[in-house]
Amino acid sequence: VTASVYGTITYCFTLDYFISKFLNKPITSLDGRTRTILRFGAWQILCSNKVPDYAAVNSSVELSKKYAKSSNGLINAVLHKICALSPDERDFGKYKPEIELSLKPEIFGIFKKDYGKERAISIGKALLQSSGTTIRYKSSISREDIITQLENDGVIVEDSEFMDNCLKITTGPKAINDCKAFKDGNIFVQGESAMLASIIANPSNNMRILDCCAAPGGKTTHLAELCGDNCMIDALDINESRVELIKENAKRLGIKSINAMKANASTFGSDNPQYDLVTADVPCSGLGLLAKKPDIRMQITYDRIQELLPIQEAILENAARNVLPGGSLIYSTCTINKAENENQVEKFLSKHDEFYAEDIRPLLPAKLDLNGREDLAKSGMITLFPDMDRCDGFFIARLRRRS
């Protein structure tokens, strides 16, 4: 069921293309239940190798009898026509990239503009494949010990792509939060690219740290662990329930140095900077997370991205205001859209002579292949890609305030 739901959402744009071939009106004019049953059936026919065509049609017709009686005939007719498509007609690779990759033209257009058509297709294909679930484990526990703890609960892991103190889950009969290692606070579920942001932040003991947009606390707790919990972290989120998530995770991990609070990252602080390190993981389009969060494919639009740009700029400006002279500022997103990434940083630096980009090459993990990104890393920035790095798409920049 989970595979069917995630699959249908992932391929929604492509499914709508095929369904629309056999409608005499726009698919958006159909009621929600009819549209959903058609998409669910079309995914089983076109994408699943475990459901026979006839079964996909029959189960969809049965759903329509219960939830969309007036559309019963339409659903039956459209799905039968999709079943009649030849193998060649069902091959998504025969269509334009937007259809093959199930990306709205405006989103594929962003990838194409930033990286060229060939690379955009490579990124799009990678975003159709899950990069898997990774866990961060405490440095006080050996790799062998944490693997043994997980195996005792039936969780099998393998090496991560590039991060230390990180493992990738391959199989496991239990939900990870049912495992003893999780309950004991020895692991945290987090993507490798998000872990890298804390490594690039490079916190040290006794630092006063501000983590903007901190929930659910992955980077916050990682920063604390890197300092041996010997620091003071103010962790902000604008949503009270998400602030509670930070507190819960800090408690589970046994971390004492985090002060989680409800606050607006674009206005928090004063004109007197207080922090040695400020991190800002800003709200973004999430285009680097399409493999894990396929609903973004349906929700994000070019206009929505344009609305996010001034929010990102406001948070970055305010985050900078809180950095002490000589202190560091980390700006990160979970997107690979240059307008939200490099362009925001370059715009900020053009207005703030008191900040400069800092070479991050010495901070990067040895196993991370820069693969042509040396100049970008030298200029204080790195973008991680699902096709190149086999992880979530992510952007990180490290800036320093002049002493």
Residue 2 to residue 237: CA distance in whole angstroms: 30
Collapse the DSSP code of 101 into the 3-class scheme (helix H, G, I; strand E, B; otherwise coil) and give the result: helix
| Whole-number pLDDT of residue 71 | 94
Q: What is the mean pLDDT of residues 240-244?
A: 96
Residue 111 to residue 17: CA distance in whole angstroms: 21
Mean pLDDT of all residues belonging to the chain: 96
**Alpha helical stretches, state H, 139-239:** 143-152, 180-183, 192-201, 218-226
pLDDT digits (tens, 9 = 90+) for 25-41: 999 999 999 999 999 99
Residue 214 to residue 267: CA distance in whole angstroms: 15
pLDDT digits (tens, 9 = 90+) for 266-288: 999 988 889 999 999 999 999 99
pLDDT digits (tens, 9 = 90+) for 68-119: 999 999 999 999 999 999 999 999 999 999 999 999 999 999 999 999 999 9
DSSP 230: -
Would you say residue 136 has pLDDT above 80?
Answer: yes
Residue 4 to residue 96: CA distance in whole angstroms: 24
Q: What is the mean pLDDT of residues 51-71?
A: 95
Residue 136 is inside which H or E element, if any?
strand 133-137
The CA–CA distances, whole Å, from 320 to 219, 244, 313 equal: 18, 26, 11
Would you say residue 2 has pLDDT above 90?
Answer: no
pTM > 0.75: yes or no: yes
Cβ neighbours of 350 (radius 10 Å):
8
- % of the chain beyond a pLDDT of 90: 95
Collapse the DSSP code of 188 into the 3-class scheme (helix H, G, I; strand E, B; otherwise coil) and give the result: strand
Residue 283 to residue 340: CA distance in whole angstroms: 10
Residues 248 and 220: beta-carbon distance below 8 Å = no
